[in-house]
Chains A and B, each alone.
Chain A
Amino acid sequence: MSNFTTIVTKVEDGIGLVELNRPKVLNAINRQMVTELLAAFEQFEGDDNVKAIVLTGNERAFAAGADIDEMKDDDAITLELLNQFKEWDRLALIKKPIIGAVSGYCFGGGFELALCCDLLFASEKAQFGFPEIKLGVMPGAGGTVKLTKLMGQKKALEWLWLGEPMTAKEALHYGVINRIVAPELVVSEAVKFAKTLAQKAPLSLRLIKETVYKAVDYSVYEGMQYERKNFYLLFSSEDQKEGMRAFVEKRRAKFKGK
């Protein structure tokens, strides 16, 4: 694949795997990493061999935060002109399922990146948190918004104000992550789950993802209108015909994503 220096990618058995790879700085996220990550995701998005994506760090750190050196001299105008979050926005346009496999530290921008994943698997020893307040700032890549949507206003404020780390158990309790697994198996369990998804009807996966994200933002009425259109849309797919035929014939459906 491309010559990435801050990440490592591979495709295996239908799963695109991205590993953040700046171990010396606990995978601190710099701008180059976000650029490379987006490029990798967009390659996977366009690759028919890739059915689902797994994003991970290493055992010590998923990503301990954003690269502070890179931004410490910025001011409001340089940041506005740089518009660095446009790449983050594009991460949200990936339509294939993305599963995050988190071990170790997952702080600040690292936590925000994890929250860009559709599902999160975490090691028992993973720690999450937004310590930005300790640096006199706040999350800037969606942290305050997404955490609040996930855990509600009261708890989100407490975590964001204190900036203290959240254990995997707490994260699970508040609905921030999907599963806790043994540290040795975070990646393999996430890949296993991704392979399960890879067997499902791809268009259904895609439209369900889209509709669930709309459900978070829309009113119930608008969400249901949106759902209905997507439900109808799937009836123009070959997979719907195949799926329903297979059901009637009591056999396993073979989906093609068409």
Chain B
Amino acid sequence: MFETITYETRRNVAWITLNRPDKLNAFTSQMHKELLSALKTANKEEEVRAVVITGAGRAFCSGQDLGNAESLDYGDVLRNGYNPVIQAIVSMEKPVIAAVNGVAAGAGASLAFACDFRLVSEKASFIEAFIHVGLVPDSGNLYFLPRLVGHAKAMELAVLGEKIPAEEANRLGLVTRLVKEESWVEEVETFAEKLSSMPTKAIGLIKRYLNKSWDADLNEVLEYEALAQTAAGNTADHKEGVAAFMEKRKPVFIGK
């Protein structure tokens, strides 16, 4: 059903693989549409409790396919192509993991930054490539980057556009787990499946209100937490968690 990506669901995890390996998984308008559609499917399907976005071949994603967009208004490419993808990732109340298998450049880096977790292969790297063609970081890059690494570092990375090897990305706080190449597949799977067996509803609420915390003051956040706790307190997973604790056994969460 998709041509530029693949989508499959295994053990409550939706695996989305950007699949234009000969173009280092560069974005085309078709890939925007397909990725958005895959994210919407993952959001809708109840059995999906975690999402992994990764790349086929040696790159994660090299950003915009420059061979593809010359005559277009870049602003509209963002509004119609990238921005809905970023919004879908952020508004999805399930954990979204970027499994950064190789280079993540330009909007490819933005895509990884917008995800909730970044598992990063030792051989991967990030590049704020926009400046090298006289452009500005986009697709949420200017929003997420300073929140991940701080303003000063974000300025440095975005303006100088130097390659950020995995090790350095890890030091900067861009990385959830640095993963050895030989155990890549296994570790990504283990991490994703761990998340997909957790209390999904609570994860969704955490994600929702962490995001909202950026434009709220303490009093608002205190109220968000109160609302979120009421909602979380009504979930089956909360009851299961308490019951398991009392019965001294491991809880089995169903994501509801």
Give the interface of A toward B (CB within 8 A): 124, 181-182, 184-185, 188-189
Contacts and interface: CB of A to CB of B under 8 A. Distances in A.
Contacts of A182: 205, 208, 224, 227-228, 230-231
Contacts of A124: 208, 212
Interface of B: 205, 208, 212, 224, 227-228, 230-231, 234
A181 B224 CA distance: 8
A181 B234 CA distance: 16
Contacts of B212: 124
Q: Which 10 A-B pairs have the closest CB atoms?
A: A184-B231, A182-B227, A182-B231, A185-B227, A185-B231, A185-B230, A181-B227, A182-B228, A184-B234, A124-B208
Contacts of A185: 227, 230-231
14 contacts: A124-B208, A124-B212, A181-B227, A182-B205, A182-B224, A182-B227, A182-B228, A182-B231, A184-B230, A184-B231, A185-B227, A185-B230, A188-B230, A189-B227
Contacts of A189: 227
B88 to A, nearest CB: 14
Contacts of A181: 227
A181 B230 CA distance: 11
Nearest to B234: A184
A61 to B, nearest CB: 16
Contacts of A188: 230
B235 to A, nearest CB: 9
Given A124-B208, A182-B228, 11 more contacts: A181-B227, A182-B208, A182-B227, A182-B230, A182-B231, A184-B231, A184-B234, A185-B227, A185-B230, A188-B230, A189-B227
A188 B224 CA distance: 15
Contacts of B227: 181-182, 185, 189
A103 to B, nearest CB: 13
Contacts of B234: 184
Contacts of B231: 182, 184-185
Contacts of B224: 182
B92 to A, nearest CB: 12
A153 to B, nearest CB: 28
Nearest to B215: A169
